[in-house]
């Protein structure tokens, strides 16, 4: 029942390295806080680990509270620090922390497991929690279906997921933290998200342009990237 001390250390280490890294970064570089939300055991820790360190963690345990993983990206010659908040999925591990997750968040990633229909069906309740914390409309939210390398066990067909994502106005990505070459690359997903955050562009076409920003460059609005 006792969590391995090594797990705690590793997250602390990462956070320490992150903080030292942030000290080294010029103070003008922006920090984007992206929270990863979803049911327990869908693969949030593996996804964030994959993005932050480039490899798949062999042995993971239920995340308690939150783990922080950071990575500095270089987008258009600007150093952007992505601070990933790998949140706990189990209710008892997250109950006192929810308002801290959503405070000043820049983007929300909803994760479900394609081999577990229940994790997909509980997405509305996660989205509802997100809504209750009154995020502004320009906080991009994306939907990620993990574990798509387990092709024989898929329970959530992609059309169902796409339909749901469309009703919620979120882009859908199917990926695998274990086999990143399967479907969308984990790296690509986060990079795109970071790019959008940096340019303050909307994730989906029907999201509003920020009134005081994009209007100055009208020609950019025609540049629509296809999300399929």
Site for another protein, rule CB under 8 A: 1-3, 8, 15, 19, 22, 27-28, 30-31, 33, 64-66, 68, 83, 85, 92-93, 96-97, 100-101, 103-104, 134, 136-138, 200, 206-213, 215-216
Nearest distance from C-beta of residue 182 to another protein, angstroms: 32
Distance in angstroms (rounded) separating the CA atoms of residues 113 and 178: 13
DSSP string covering 14-48, please?
A: HHHHHHHHHHHS-TTSEEEEEEEEE-TTSSHHHHH
Indicate the residue among 56 and 227 with the shorter CB distance to another protein.
Answer: 227
Tokens of 73: 């990206």
3-class SS of residue 78: strand
Strand pairing partners for 83? Answer: 33, 70
Nearest distance from C-beta of residue 173 to another protein, angstroms: 23
Indicate the residue among 140 and 145 with the shorter CB distance to another protein.
Answer: 140
Indicate the residue among 168 and 183 with the shorter CB distance to another protein.
Answer: 168
Indicate the residue among 216 and 228 with the shorter CB distance to another protein.
Answer: 216
Nearest distance from C-beta of residue 136 to another protein, angstroms: 5
CA–CA distance from 86 to each of 42, 46, 76, 133 (Å)? Answer: 12, 9, 26, 18
Distance in angstroms (rounded) separating the CA atoms of residues 205 and 188: 19
Indicate the residue among 3 and 157 with the shorter CB distance to another protein.
Answer: 3
DSSP string covering 149-187, please?
A: T-GGG--S-HHHHHHHHHHTT--EEEB-SSSTTSBB-HH
Nearest distance from C-beta of residue 180 to another protein, angstroms: 27
Nearest distance from C-beta of residue 2 to another protein, angstroms: 6
């Amino acid at each position: 029942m006792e969590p391995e001390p090594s797990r705690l250390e590793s997250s602390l280490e990462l956070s320490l390295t992150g903080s030292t890294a942030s000290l080294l970064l010029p103070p003008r570089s922006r920090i984007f806080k992206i929270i990863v939300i979803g049911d327990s055991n869908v693969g949030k820790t593996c996804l964030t680990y994959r993005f932050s360190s480039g490899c798949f963690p062999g042995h993971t345990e239920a995340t308690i509270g939150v783990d922080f993983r950071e990575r500095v990206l270089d987008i258009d010659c600007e150093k952007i620090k992505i601070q990933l908040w790998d949140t706990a999925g189990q209710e008892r591990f997250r109950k006192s922390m929810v308002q801290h997750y959503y405070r000043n968040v820049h983007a929300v990633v909803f994760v479900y497991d394609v081999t577990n229909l229940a994790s997909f069906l509980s997405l509305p309740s996660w989205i509802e929690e997100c809504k209750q914390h009154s995020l502004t409309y320009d906080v991009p939210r994306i939907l990620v279906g993990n574990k798509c390398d387990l092709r024989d066990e898929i329970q959530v067909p992609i059309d169902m997921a796409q339909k749901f994502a469309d009703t919620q106005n979120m882009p859908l990505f199917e990926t695998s933290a274990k086999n990143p070459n399967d479907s969308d690359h984990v790296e690509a997903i986060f990079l795109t998200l970071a790019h959008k955050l940096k340019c303050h562009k909307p994730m989906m076409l029907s999201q509003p342009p920020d009134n005081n920003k994009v209007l100055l460059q009208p020609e950019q609005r025609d540049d629509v990237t296809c999300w399929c």
